[in-house]
Amino acid sequence: MSGILNDRVVLVTGGTGALGAGVLPVLVREGATVITTAHRPTESPGEGITVEVADLLEPGAAEPLIERIIAQHGRLDALVCLVGGFRGGAFIQTDNQTWRELIELNVQTAVSTIRAALPGMVERDYGRIVTVGARSAVNPMPNTAAYAAAKASVIAFTRSLGREFRRTGVTINCILPETIDTPQNRESMPKANPDNWVKPADVGEVIAFLCSQQAGIIRGAAIPVE
């Protein structure tokens, strides 16, 4: 049974985590050939998913990753940047190292991978790129200044790239999830009601659509997912 991503080659960075566990199966179900990344050798998280070892925090790691994928599959149709991380804390107690780490994890990993993937997409005049911001970037909560700033940067550069490449066949969009229902979030917020949180698979549905040909008229959007 074919889906909206039938025969498409999709790279999902950082897909071996809790969010990826919901996103990757949706992409596979929709017919995509899915490659994801991990810091160290690990088993595939599911049928139809290939794991590439790549630490995207390391300078120069993105280019050979993209080259390997294109060498094996002939092209890269879509890139989903799931690598990211959260760290909260009072502003006065959040040191410069934490700010740098959150920027590198949430922003630089996406920038490096997108920069490596774009030339091939532009040459083929087709590509779909999805980044992950956060609702807290547009409605920041207390004690999240560094994280909110990092995710706001993701939104800003995504919108800029969406306009920069608007006359090509490449689209670049950002999703803004509210709290995602993951084991880590349940553990860190035991008194909250997870019934109201976003399910990882529902995030996957939105991402799958943005990676599809049908989403070709959506450019530079920041889409709430809540």
Q: Which of 43, 41, 45 is nearest to 27 (CA)?
A: 45
Alpha-carbon distance 131 to 110, whole Å? 7
Q: Are 36 and 52 in contact (CB under 8 A)?
A: yes
Q: Which CATH class name applies to 9-225?
A: alpha beta
- What are the structural domain ranges in the chain? 9-225
CB 129 within 8 A of CB 106: no
Tens of pLDDT, residue by residue, the chain (226 residues): 579 999 999 999 999 988 999 999 999 999 999 999 998 888 888 888 999 999 999 999 999 999 999 999 999 999 999 999 999 999 999 999 999 999 999 999 999 999 999 999 999 999 999 999 999 899 888 999 999 999 999 999 999 999 999 999 999 999 999 888 888 888 888 888 888 899 999 999 999 999 999 999 999 999 999 8
Residue 115: per-residue pLDDT? 98
d(CA 181, CA 90): 24
Distance CA 75, CA 8 (A): 9
DSSP for 110-124, written as a single string = HHHHHHHHHHHHHHH
What tens digit of pLDDT does each residue of 5-48 get?
Answer: 999 999 999 999 889 999 999 999 999 999 999 988 888 888 88
